[in-house]
Amino acid sequence: MTATRGFGIDIGGSGIKGALVDLEKGALIGDRLRIDTPRPSTPEAVADVVAKVVRHFGWDGPVGITLPAVVKKGVAHTAANIDPAWIGTDADALFAERIGRDVADVAMLNDADAAGMAEIRFGDPEARHGVTTLLTFGTGIGSAVFQDGKLVPNTEFGHLEVDGHDAEKKAAASVKDNEELSYHQWAKRVNRYLTVLENLIWPDLFIVGGGVSKKSEKWVPHLDIRTKIIVASLQNNAGIVGAAAAAVEGIEH
């Protein structure tokens, strides 16, 4: 029998969020728990928080966990907005040991890939056709690219060079707050970034997500590019939902 509930944890540069997920609706069951990402965000420190989140919900099934990193076969190969000690860490094994699971019951994946998988499955049906690119705007910029609904894993388009700068250093949502930019000022930077990206990969659709998607009406109308843009239907919960689905149904690393 197919599981109808799952559990996902989304690790970000500023917060670690976890929740039970209804895998039929693509929605959270009850409230999510958010704990600030420890500083420094070393593997051991983050694993302690993840274990705390799992205990809070009393969940004893498979767990899906996202990282802001390139993840291949459960191993982190980069570290964006988390401690560099993550590079080379066998995250599958670390979390499995810490939460008392077999490695097979832990699904590790890139945070934007998880969010994209959730949007493809539960969001706008248009996203399942052609080349769709999901972008999460938060501490950094995460990207997930799909061809007819199939994921091309571990794209790192948030680190695309735009006008001599790493894109996320100028256009992430955290930059808006840190530099006290208005939504209109920040949208100009996002627009420039999207223009460069669309000229590189020519997508059919952009989905914009991350925490700032909750206030999409303040900035998305200021974007003016040729590619159609829609707002992530699951907003900032997409990573949790995608991780939970991956844990239950398996993922291709």
205 is a domain residue: yes
**Residue 177: CB atoms within 10 Å:** 11
Split at pLDDT 50, 70, 90, the class of 251 is: low
- 129 and 224 part of one domain: yes
For 150, counting Cβ atoms within 10 Å of its Cβ (0-12 exposed, 13-18 middle, 19+ buried), the class is exposed
Tens-digit pLDDT profile for residues 152-207 = 999 999 999 999 999 999 999 999 999 999 999 999 999 999 999 999 999 999 99
- One domain, residues 90 and 142: no
Residue 203 lies in a domain: yes
Cis amide bond preceding 62, omega within 30: no
Residues 86, 145, single domain; the answer is no
pLDDT in tens, 134-143: 999 999 999 9
Residue found by looking up tokens 């988390």 in the block: 82
Residue 252 has pLDDT above 60, yes or no: no
Q: By three-state DSSP, how is residue 17 classified?
A: strand
Q: What is the mean pLDDT of residues 35-61?
A: 97
Q: What are phi and psi of 250, to 5 degrees?
A: 85, 155
Q: 226 and 163, same structural domain?
A: yes
Establish if 119 belongs to a structural domain.
no
Are 108 and 166 within one domain?
Answer: no
As a whole number, mean pLDDT of residues 21-33 equals 96
How many separate domains does the chain show? 2
Query: DSSP states of 79-118 as a string?
Result: -SSS-GGGTT-BHHHHHHHHHT--GGGEEEEEHHHHHHHH
Q: How far is the C-alpha of 214 from the C-alpha of 194, rounded, in Å? A: 19
3-state class (DSSP) for residue 131: strand
Regarding whether 29 and 73 lie in a shared domain, the answer is yes
pLDDT digits (tens, 9 = 90+) for 208-218: 999 899 999 99
Does 93 share its domain with 166?
Answer: no
Average pLDDT over residues 94-109: 96
Q: Are residues 241 and 210 in the same domain?
A: no
Q: Output the pTM of the full model.
A: 0.94
- Say how far apart CA 125 and CA 200 lie, in whole Å: 24
Percent of the chain topping pLDDT 70: 98
If asked whether residues 132 and 86 sit together in one domain, one would say no
Say whether both 98 and 154 belong to one domain. Answer: no
User: According to DSSP H, which parts of the chain are helical?
Assistant: 43-57, 91-99, 111-122, 167-171, 173-178, 183-201, 238-249
Kindly state whether residue 118 falls inside one of the protein's structural domains.
no
- Cβ(210)–Cβ(134) below 8 Å: no
| Full residue range of the structural domain in which residue 166 is found | 124-232
Decide if 245 is inside a domain.
Answer: yes
The answer as to whether 66 is a domain residue is: yes
Q: Are residues 228 and 128 in the same domain?
A: yes
What is the rounded distance in angstroms from the CA atom of residue 109 to the CA atom of residue 132?
A: 19
- Per-residue pLDDT for 253 more than 90? no
Residue 2 — pLDDT band, cuts 50, 70, 90?
low
Task: Answer yes or no: do 225 and 147 share one domain.
Answer: yes
What CATH number does the domain containing 82 carry? 3.30.420.40
